[in-house]
Structure 1
């Protein structure tokens, strides 16, 4: 059902059986229409972005906030929550408390040398491709980190340049930067 840069880079249909099983049990896709779905859920094709405001409902992020807060902590289980959502989709659910403490949000930065000095910038379109490749690499390697710290280690082992610091306060999500030179 889902297409685009992230899904093309993830290549679900081309994963081996073990990686597909892992994807089916561990990945959630946030949807403006359905809330959140598993990658194997059978749903019809649709077009309804989370950023849409519908007459009578308003902004979909706000619409989904209460139902998501009710069901997603249980869906998150007791392991790592790797949050790769864009800003519009992040409005639908904010991890809180213990779940937030084991959540990692990822930002992709491009590193360029300009005049002998490293300059970093947030990438947009290629951000999605990098996130898709990153998830694919984790799935194909069978890596299932249980914590943000283990995610940093796993991504490093897979060849990613990763920078992260534990949050200063308990109950806050980790912010992890993945630094790329080429997009």
Structure 2
């Protein structure tokens, strides 16, 4: 089973790992594109105003440009520790046992504007690049990744669970049998609506369940059973679709 998570804009500082080594990352087929993007991002960082415009940030966020300038030299840390925010707080990887971390490495992957997709424990530096950005030297990030990332993800074996956000879903179509999970709630009219505020938190809770379960689900029904056993409410809404129903 592979669970695809969205990344986050916010990232932890520092790290105990050495500088970025693309050969240390999973999915090595992506390394040529990773190198192209990293070089372009680091080069762009020499022009702070141009970086601010391309990255869609403010002058108060020039620290993000400094991060990009040091892409090839700054320390690294495992991807699941690098990404922060609501989803990753709910995932709470710091509380994982060693066995849990080993499962997470096999089962969790994060979509990334810079790296395409990385496994849970892949060592990456802090950086700033969003899915909707375009770099002057190479164009849109999405346009660069789509022809490269799609064939790689379609070759993933076993059950694939798609928790990506819309921005990162556009990076690559998955196999037709990939399971798409929506986070929904019921409004006053009894209609199912997509959750915004609690979306990331529930995805983090779900990712934690799937990362640590002893089960090895290989079908949609088996996946739903694992989720229900963890106390979450899930309903099958299509051949390869589940709704994770929140309490509102």
Alignment partners' CA distance in 1, 2:197 and 2:136: 30
Q: Does 1:104 align with 2:154?
A: no
Unpaired runs of at least 5, structure 2: 1-81
Q: Equivalent residue for 1:179?
A: 245
Q: Does 1:145 align with 2:238?
A: no
Alignment partners' CA distance in 1, 2:123 and 2:244: 32
Alignment partners' CA distance in 2, 1:84 and 1:143: 19
Alignment partners' CA distance in 2, 1:125 and 1:143: 30
Using the TM superposition, give the Cα deviation of residue 71 of structure 1 relative to its aligned residue in structure 2, in angstroms: 1.8
CA contact (8 A) 1:19 1:142 kept: no
Give the SS at the match of 1:51: coil
What is the TM-score when the length of structure 1 is the normalising length? 0.83
Give the SS at the match of 1:100: coil
CA contact (8 A) 1:164 1:176 kept: yes
Name the structure where strand makes up a greater proportion of residues: 1
Q: Equivalent residue for 1:67?
A: 148
Q: Does 1:94 align with 2:170?
A: no
Q: Equivalent residue for 1:129?
A: 201
Alignment partners' CA distance in 1, 2:119 and 2:169: 17
**Would you identify which runs of 4 or more consecutive aligned residues in structure 1 move more than 3 Å?**
none
Moved more, 35-44 or 144-153: 144-153
CA contact (8 A) 1:109 1:177 kept: yes
Give the SS at the match of 1:118: coil
Using the TM superposition, give the Cα deviation of residue 153 of structure 1 relative to its aligned residue in structure 2, in angstroms: 1.7
What is the alpha-carbon root mean square deviation over aligned residues?
1.7
What is the TM-score when the length of structure 2 is the normalising length? 0.63
Alignment partners' CA distance in 2, 1:30 and 1:109: 22
